[in-house]
Amino acid sequence: MWFAGPARLVPEAGRPGALRTGFALAPGMRVGLYGGSFNPVHEGHLHVAETALTRLGLDRVIWLVSPQNPLKPSHETAELADRLAAVRLRARGPHMVVSDVESRVGSRYTIDTLRILKARYPGVHFVWIMGADSLASFHRWRGWTQIMRTMPVAVVSRPWAALKARTSPAARRFAHARVSADAAGGLATRRPPAWVYLTGPLNFASSTALRERSRKGG
């Protein structure tokens, strides 16, 4: 879903009416897009989503469950249907939406997905949401500079990632576009590039640790 490669055309972007996302959004809404494989989903993911929902004043957070991370072996990734079901158990409430839209349109990369959704929902104020651990490697994503220029970005602090995130190539490249956390409530309507780093209580849950524990039978 995320990582770098040669540029290509965005599927469906020219025909937004053909896309059936499974959710309805109205112009003027503030909507967070939170992508990942969620393999498995854990409390840390929910912490990121809820922090963004509250601090940014969002109307919705849409969890974009990726079919497969291109840089990880498929045998390490649970079936999409199982991961969707697990995320739905965690991401409850009227403000949380769980979607398989990337699978529906055949999108593997975030930049494609964001362009598709912006074309499908003109007038909606989208924000890309990610944990600080993702910001540390953001420069490896396909079209990462384009993502920053496509919509505002909210980064939520994660354990052991603060230093790497704040000194990452992405943070340095777009230092001029960083918004104070005090102004996070208006991020969704800012013209990109604009991003914010949100700190707060940390949740130490980790997908990697959970997979390792499962392999060991613990």
Contact 122, 27 (CB under 8 A): yes
Between β-strands 153-156 and 60-65, what pairing exists: parallel, antiparallel or unpaired?
Answer: unpaired
Contact 30, 2 (CB under 8 A): no
**Cα-only R_g, the chain:** 16
Look at phi and psi of residue 31 and say left if phi exceeds 0, alpha if psi is from -120 to 50, else beta.
beta
Contact 196, 179 (CB under 8 A): yes
Lay out the sheet containing 195-198: strands in order across: 96-99, 60-65, 30-36, 125-131, 153-156, 195-198, 178-179
pLDDT category, 75, cuts 50, 70, 90? low
pTM for the whole structure: 0.84
Which amino acid would we find at residue 48? V
Structure token digits, residue 142: 């396909």
Q: Is the pLDDT of residue 131 over 70?
A: yes
Question: Among candidates 63, 73, 6, which has minimal Cα distance to 31?
Answer: 63
Look at residue 9 in the predicted model and tell me its pLDDT.
Answer: 40
pLDDT category, 137, cuts 50, 70, 90? very high
Q: Report pLDDT digits (tens) over 85-99.
A: 999 999 999 999 999
Contact 96, 63 (CB under 8 A): yes
CATH value of 26-215 in 3.30.365.10, 3.40.50.740, 3.65.10.10, 3.40.50.620: 3.40.50.620
Q: What is the DSSP letter of 52?
A: H
Structure token digits, residue 163: 């230093």
Q: Which residues pair with 35 in a beta bridge?
A: 64
Look at residue 124 in the predicted model and tell me its pLDDT.
Answer: 98
| For the chain, domain boundaries | 26-215
Axis crossing angle, helix 43-55 with helix 80-90, rounded to the nearest 10: 60
Q: Report pLDDT digits (tens) over 15-63.
A: 444 567 889 999 999 999 999 999 899 999 999 999 999 999 999 999 9
